[in-house]
Amino acid sequence: MTTTNKEMKNGGRTQWKQWLGGITATLTMVSIGTVYGWATTNLSRLTSSDSHIVMTTDQTSWIVSLTGIGSMIGPFLGAAAADKVGPRNTLLLTSLFFSTGWLIDIFATKVAELYVARVILGIGIGISYTTNPMYISGIADVNIRGALGTLTAVNVFIGSLSTCIIGPFIAVRTLSIILLAVPVLFVILFIWFPETPGYLAWKGHNEKAVRSLLFYKGMKTREEAEEELNKVILNLEKNANTENWPKKLRKMLLPNNRKALGILLVLIITQSMSGNYTTMAYLEVLFQTADIGIDTNLATVIVLIVGLMAAALATVTIERIGRRMLLITSTSSSFVVLGLLATYLVANANGIDLEAVNWLPVFLLVVFQVTYQLGIGALPDALIGELFPADVMSIGSASATISDGILGLIISKLYTVIGEALGEYVTYYIFSGSCFLALIFVILFVPETMNKDFNQIQEELADSRLQCFRKKERK
């Protein structure tokens, strides 16, 4: 179903508060982008003798890796807090971690203090990635659920791009002071939004749930909201929502939930193994190695701008083209582009004169950002809110974030090790091959979820194409 002027044709309900809530909630993702952007713009500066804290190349690699360690801790806190106090309040909690991390950065005088700051910021990242899909799934109508889910990727890019634009022109400490304003602004704006209707109904706060439905769904009458609440309660009862974590874990072992988790984890692995996070963290270093023909700061900003535009395009197209087609297009194109980049790096490493095409790495990474963000980058977060029942969504989301953190830590460390030992082109051939394997997986096993309610998606998961995720049933 399409909307006109953000108003649903069915019943005249409005959706603009859902959009406003989603945009405001994902300001936490802007904070995540600033954490990544800080590393991108400052890693080379921190090794300079002019830096207020001079670091070695190995120490700067830990700046990247420790963020991943923190992001593995965050999901445990995020999942537990979302069950106890709700997705909305848990998102507000992230501001404490982001603010603390930036304050430590501002006053840091030792390398160890920067390390502590990155772990704390990483915890905020883990909580944000875990909780945003839960909040968005809780407030969004089916026909805009996917589009709101892609806002996470869009706002990460807004944070990274803004940081990389202003970072080169100001001191490292001054940059941290500016970035501290993002979590503060988030609290000022988001504190006015109510908790999700489903969580309030789960806790038995039916009156608050009705008011939340009236707010987010743009309903005309209280009776309409109460009727909608009854549907929410029936859905909660059907899914046996519980705070008992052993029961949640047992429910995650049900066939459809196992398959949903398998699909999600493969897509998260693809995100990491495509090399996007590592490439963006070491973007200036890569451009210096590739000996491009333009200023590395300018090239970094160009890549980030295109990435932001591609992420925004995913928000527009996801409810028109569908998840499967975007993922197929994304993985196949990324496979080709990364392979071409690896081939360029081979030629450069062997001393071939590439002056006539030294712009090619920038061009290829620009194309990669488009292909990556249209599918691999944007869709896993959206699918979290579509594939899982409400009561195990926190486990699914936390599992994805933890897996991403583990892989990010491993790949960010191996990136420099493999690059120095075998050549950077080897890593990019690995990244390219990973996207090819992901393409095969998407074609065979990922269902289409566009404009489908929970029951329809569960039927898709039960399709015979996904039998590889089933345990062998006893005869």
Distance CA 195, CA 81 (A): 13
- Please name the residues in contact with 145: beta carbons below 8 A apart, sequence gap of 6 or more: 136, 137, 382, 385, 386
Low-confidence ranges of the chain (pLDDT < 70): 1-12, 236-245, 281-296, 463-475
Residue 315: CB atoms within 10 Å: 19
The answer to whether the CB of 16 falls within 8 A of the CB of 215 is no
Q: Which of 429, 426, 289 shows the shortest CA–CA distance to 348?
A: 289
Residue 3 pairs in a beta bridge with 8
Spatial distance between the Cα atoms of 190 and 177, rounded to a whole number of angstroms: 21
In the numeric block, the tokens 């990019």 are attached to 428
Please answer whether residues 27 and 34 qualify as being in contact, where contact means their C-beta atoms are separated by less than 8 angstroms. Answer: no
For residue 10, what pLDDT is reported? Answer: 46
Domain boundaries, the chain: 7-193+239-469
pLDDT tens, 254-294? 888 888 889 989 998 998 888 887 777 666 666 666 555 56
pLDDT of residue 28: 95
Alpha-carbon dihedral angle through residues 119, 74, 403, 248, given to the nearest 10 degrees: 160
Per-residue model confidence (pLDDT) at position 15: 84
Q: How many CB atoms lie within 10 A of CB 223?
A: 10
Residue 472 has a pLDDT of: 43
What is the rounded CA–CA span in Å between residue 393 and residue 127?
14
Chain-centre distance of CA 6, in angstroms? 25
Write the pLDDT tens digit of every residue in 201-257.
888 899 999 999 999 988 878 888 888 888 877 776 666 555 566 777 777 778 888
What is the tens place of the pLDDT at every residue in 446-455?
A: 888 887 777 7
Q: What is the DSSP letter of 374?
A: I
What is the greatest pairwise CA distance in the chain?
Answer: 74
Query: Within 13 Å of residue 343, how many CA atoms lie on the same side as its CB?
Result: 10
- Cα separation of 447 and 263, whole Å? 9
How is domain 7-193+239-469 classified at the architecture level of CATH?
Answer: Up-down Bundle (1.20)
